[in-house]
Amino acid sequence: MLIEIRNLTKQFRKGEETIKPLDDVTLDIDRGEFVSLMGPSGTGKSTLLNQIAGIDRPDSGTITVAGTEITSLSRSRLARWRAENVGYIFQTHNLIPVLTAYENVELPLLLLPFDRAERRRRVQIALEAVDLVDRASHYPRQLSGGQEQRVGIARAIVADPTVVVADEPTGDLDTATSNQILDLLQRLNRDLGTTLLMVTHDEQAAEIAGRKLRLNDGRILEAEHSLEPAGSQADRK
Amino acid sequence: MLKFLPYILKTLWRHRARTLLTFSGAAVSLFVFCFVVSLQEGLDRLTSQSDSTLVVFQANKFCPATSHLQQDYDQVIRKLPGVSEVVPIQVFTNNCRASLDVVVFYGVPPQKLRAVRDFELTSGSWAEFENNQDAGIVGQAVARRRNLKPGHRFSIGEVTVTVAGIFTSENKAEENYIYTHLEFLQRTPGLNLVGTVTQHEVVLESTADPSRVAEQIDERFRGGPIQTDTRTKGTFQAASLADLVELIGLTHYLGYACLGLMAVLILTTNFMSVQDRIREHAVLQTMGFSGSLVFLLIMTESVLLSFAGGATGILAAVAVLANAGIAVSAEAVSLALTPSFPLAAIGVGLSIAIGVLAGMLPALAAARTEIVPALRAA
Ligand SMILES: Nc1ncnc2c1ncn2[C@@H]1O[C@H](COP(=O)(O)OP(=O)(O)O)[C@@H](O)[C@H]1O
Ligand SMILES: [Mg+2]
């Protein structure tokens, strides 16, 4: 298993009451899977995603990714681990406004031991994957919403991470653009074998995933598998 | 760190107006600071001047116009042990009080001038000076202020000299004086000065004990018609500038205040810049930027801003100090404001230090950003 989540619990205190978005969650995700995570707003989808992405910590339980138990890493080692292993696609693209599309995509590579030429090569590939080579020198404000999100996706995949997480990546986009983005994510999973975990509350969006999960009352429910089982995608990589 | 430079520079440029204002504030601060330090340096140069020269003045007199010593005291002083040379000097100034544009004439026996001063003529000639009674050589700073060239005639009150040359000196204060023939100044119409001088400058042998010789000189004239007060040239100049010395002490605080102001300005800018980018820093950390890297990025921003502003102020100050020939004078002693390497180096060092200090807290705040709450905040 690529990702092993064991007995994960996370709770927040809201004034008097305590809410428990994650209550003893146990879940495995295989390499090359495309998993969608659904559920009504406020159920804890983002909270789970953030645990897997290593930007938040559980109250108890463990997460092991490719053999590394990330829940026990120090703050700085966890940062290093994220640089090498996680691509994060935000709902609002969160591009750096003063950097060009090219520079935004290059940013995660600056943390890794790549020389200039290697960085250039990788950025090129990532921009090709999202079909934005001709927009490389544009600034975010010169791009459309869909293009911005595609730059965000390129930035998430450029370092060839172990897992890519996406938190409602189409939440801010119109239907047509959403479909483009979903197509793109599907292609990345299918053609590059990227392991993808996507949070969405859009049933239709969830459909494109090979495996559909639902979060309810702090617990994960496995929806029926789609026709193509997740395992076969893993084999292809 | 170099890889991140484009990001840092573009970030600084993001709020151009704010960056430029802070930059200007830093520049003005260092500009003023350099002036203050230069004032102090000028004073230190004057007061620490070699112990091996004494100035003999009339006792209990302050302004040069009131000091009258017998010219032939020089013969007596010359014979004292430890004395190698005595130069009688008549001083004439248009203003005895502390002021910016003071003209000071030093009348000396022309043949002795080159022995006791290191002057180099940048124009004109020594022969012209030595062979003409009304000739004067003019310090570069005065020449620049008054726009004087060889051949010009120049008057202050009853004194009119013909410029024979312009000189420079290692001792920048000297460049604020005009040297004439002793006799010429003594014969100034309206002043009955023949046979008397304002002061004697006594050059000692290197082995002589300055305070010992000074005592001997004053002792020698104690019973005479006019009593003397002999001090090393440094002490004499410090006493002449006494009023200014206190003022310069005060300007120190002005200099420090400027630095404090600059630190606060840069601190404010850094805090604004960090607050603007809470979300951005959370995004960077999500990507894998460590807290310490974010810290370094902000620190670099702060130091760059502080250094660039400070260095600009220093350059401007050095340019003005080098070219304007500014001097403050009192009682015929001039304090020259000149640039110096230590001055520039101290300025650069302080600019960087202020950048580091002012960057610390904002950088720490940014480095400690909790990722998830920062991302959730709209
Ligand atoms: N940092 C936090 N502090 C307090 N409450 C939080 C925090 N993060 C999430 N929550 C709460 O936890 C619940 C789940 O949040 P979230 O994971 O964002 O839900 P979802 O992504 O499914 O909409 C919500 O009720 C939210 O208010
Ligand atoms: Mg959410």
- As a three-state string, the secondary structure of A16-46 is CEEEEEEEEEEEEECCCCEEEEECCCCCCHH
Q: Where are the domains of chain A?
A: 32-43+74-231
The answer to whether the CB atoms of A94 and B279 lie below 8 A apart is yes
Q: Which range scores top for mean pLDDT: A57-71, A207-221, B50-64?
A: A57-71
Looking at the fold, whether B172 and B264 belong to one and the same domain comes out as no
Write down the pLDDT at residue B378. 66
* φ/ψ of residue B212, rounded to 5: -65, -50
How many contacts, defined by CB atoms under 8 Å, are there between A and B?
65
The answer to whether the CB atoms of A99 and B7 lie below 8 A apart is yes
Write down the pLDDT at residue A231. 40
Say what the alpha-carbon torsion angle A146, A149, A151, A157 is, to the nearest 10 degrees: -130
The answer to whether the CB atoms of A98 and B371 lie below 8 A apart is no
- A190 SS3 class: helix
Q: For residue A224, what is the DSSP state?
A: P
Q: What is the pLDDT of residues B240-287, one digit of tens each?
A: 888 888 888 888 899 999 999 999 999 999 999 999 999 999 999 999
Give the contacts of B315 (CB within 8 A, at least 6 positions apart). Answer: none
Residues 50-69 of A with CB under 8 A from B: 50, 53, 55-56
Q: A95: phi > 0 → left, psi -120 to 50 → alpha, else beta; which?
A: beta
The answer to whether the CB atoms of B280 and A96 lie below 8 A apart is yes
Question: What does the block give as tokens for B246?
Answer: 């206190």
Q: What is the largest CA-CA distance in chain B?
A: 93
Note whether B278 and B376 are within 8 A (CB): no
Q: How far apart are the first and last CA of chain B?
A: 30
The answer to whether the CB atoms of A79 and B10 lie below 8 A apart is no
Q: pLDDT confidence of B368, banded at 50, 70, 90?
A: very high
Q: pLDDT confidence of A224, banded at 50, 70, 90?
A: low
Residue owning the nearest CA to atom 14 of ligand 1? A44
Report the chain A residue with the minimal C-alpha distance to residue B369.
Answer: A55
- A228 SS3 class: coil
Looking at the fold, whether B145 and B109 belong to one and the same domain comes out as yes
What is the C-alpha to C-alpha distance for residues B27 and A132, in angstroms, rounded to an integer? Answer: 43
Residue B58 has pLDDT above 60, yes or no: yes
Looking at the fold, whether B22 and B138 belong to one and the same domain comes out as no
Ligand 1 and A46: CB distance under 6 A: yes
What is the C-alpha to C-alpha distance for residues B225 and B227, in angstroms, rounded to an integer? Answer: 7
Residue B310 lies in a domain: yes
Which ligand 1 atom is nearest residue A43's CA? 22
Handedness of CA B183, B188, B191, B197 (dihedral sign): negative
Q: What is the pLDDT of residues A115-154, one digit of tens each?
A: 999 999 999 999 999 999 999 999 999 999 999 999 999 9
Report the chain B residue with the minimal C-alpha distance to residue A159.
Answer: B287
Annotate B298-325 with b (16+ C-beta within 10 A) or e (fewer).
bbbbbbbbbbbbbbbbbbebbebbeeeb
What is the C-alpha to C-alpha distance for residues A63 and A70, in angstroms, rounded to an integer? Answer: 6
Looking at the fold, whether B17 and B126 belong to one and the same domain comes out as no
Looking at the fold, whether B41 and B183 belong to one and the same domain comes out as no
User: DSSP labels for B52-91?
Assistant: TEEEEEETT--SGGG--EETTHHHHHHTSTTEEEEEEEEE
How crowded is residue B212: how many other Cβ atoms within 10 Å of its Cβ? 12
Looking at the fold, whether B332 and B188 belong to one and the same domain comes out as no
Mean pLDDT value across residues B281-297: 97
Ligand 1 and A19: CB distance under 6 A: yes
Question: Which ligand is nearest the CA of B372, by number?
Answer: 1
Note whether B8 and B301 are within 8 A (CB): yes
Write down the pLDDT at residue A230. 40
Residue A235 has pLDDT above 50, yes or no: no
Looking at the fold, whether B36 and B98 belong to one and the same domain comes out as no
The answer to whether the CB atoms of B291 and A75 lie below 8 A apart is yes
Any idea which of A44-48, B40-44, B131-135 has the lowest mean pLDDT? B40-44
Query: Which of A140, A115, A146 shows the shortest CA–CA distance to B280?
Result: A140
Question: What does the block give as tokens for B199?
Answer: 């002061």
Show the beta-strand stretches assigned E in chain A: 3-14, 17-29, 34-38, 60-65, 68-69, 86-89, 163-167, 196-199, 211-216, 219-222
Any idea which of A152-156, B4-8, B153-157 has the lowest mean pLDDT? B153-157
Looking at the fold, whether B65 and B171 belong to one and the same domain comes out as yes
Residue B50 lies in a domain: no
Instruction: State the total domains in chain B.
Output: 2
Write down the pLDDT at residue B62. 81
Note whether A151 and A112 are within 8 A (CB): no
Query: Which of B87, B79, B76, B81 shows the shortest CA–CA distance to B54?
Result: B87
Note whether B299 and A68 are within 8 A (CB): no
Looking at the fold, whether B126 and B67 belong to one and the same domain comes out as yes
Question: Which ligand is nearest the CA of A18, by number?
Answer: 1
In SS3 terms, B111-162 reads as: HHHHHHCCCEEEEECHHHHHHCCCEEEEEHHHHHHHCCCCCCEEEECCEEEE
Note whether B174 and B119 are within 8 A (CB): yes
Mean pLDDT value across residues A101-108: 97
Percentage with pLDDT > 70 across chain B: 99
Domain boundary among B176, B192, B226: B226
Write down the pLDDT at residue A106. 97
Residue B239 lies in a domain: no
Looking at the fold, whether B221 and B365 belong to one and the same domain comes out as no
Residues of A in contact with B14 (CB under 8 A): 97-98
Residue B235 lies in a domain: no
Looking at the fold, whether B214 and B259 belong to one and the same domain comes out as no
Note whether A159 and A81 are within 8 A (CB): no
Domain hosting B103: range is 61-226
Q: What is the pLDDT of residues B216-231, one digit of tens each?
A: 999 988 888 889 999 9
H/E run at residue A183: helix A175-192
Q: What ipTM score was computed for the predicted complex, to two decimals?
A: 0.92
Residues of B in contact with A98 (CB under 8 A): 7, 10-11, 13-14
- B48 SS3 class: coil
Ligand 1 and A74: CB distance under 6 A: no
Residue A71 has pLDDT above 50, yes or no: yes
What is the C-alpha to C-alpha distance for residues B171 and B179, in angstroms, rounded to an integer? Answer: 15
Note whether A132 and B309 are within 8 A (CB): no
What is the C-alpha to C-alpha distance for residues B14 and B29, in angstroms, rounded to an integer? Answer: 24
Place of tokens 């006494």: B242
Residues of B in contact with A50 (CB under 8 A): 371-372
Note whether A186 and A208 are within 8 A (CB): yes
Q: pLDDT confidence of B194, banded at 50, 70, 90?
A: confident
H/E run at residue A153: helix A145-157
Residue scoring higher pLDDT (A230 or A2)? A2
What is the C-alpha to C-alpha distance for residues B110 and B114, in angstroms, rounded to an integer? Answer: 8
What is the C-alpha to C-alpha distance for residues A192 and B67, in angstroms, rounded to an integer? Answer: 98
What's the CA-to-centroid distance between A91 and ligand 2, angstroms?
Answer: 9
Q: pLDDT confidence of A96, banded at 50, 70, 90?
A: very high
Ligand 1 and A110: CB distance under 6 A: no
Note whether A25 and A5 are within 8 A (CB): yes
Task: For domain A32-43+74-231, give its CATH number from 3.20.20.150, 3.40.640.10, 3.90.550.10, 3.40.50.300.
Answer: 3.40.50.300
Q: What is the pLDDT of residues B322-350, one digit of tens each?
A: 888 788 888 888 888 889 999 999 999 99
Q: What is the pTM of this model?
A: 0.86
Q: pLDDT confidence of B52, banded at 50, 70, 90?
A: confident
Note whether B331 and B64 are within 8 A (CB): yes
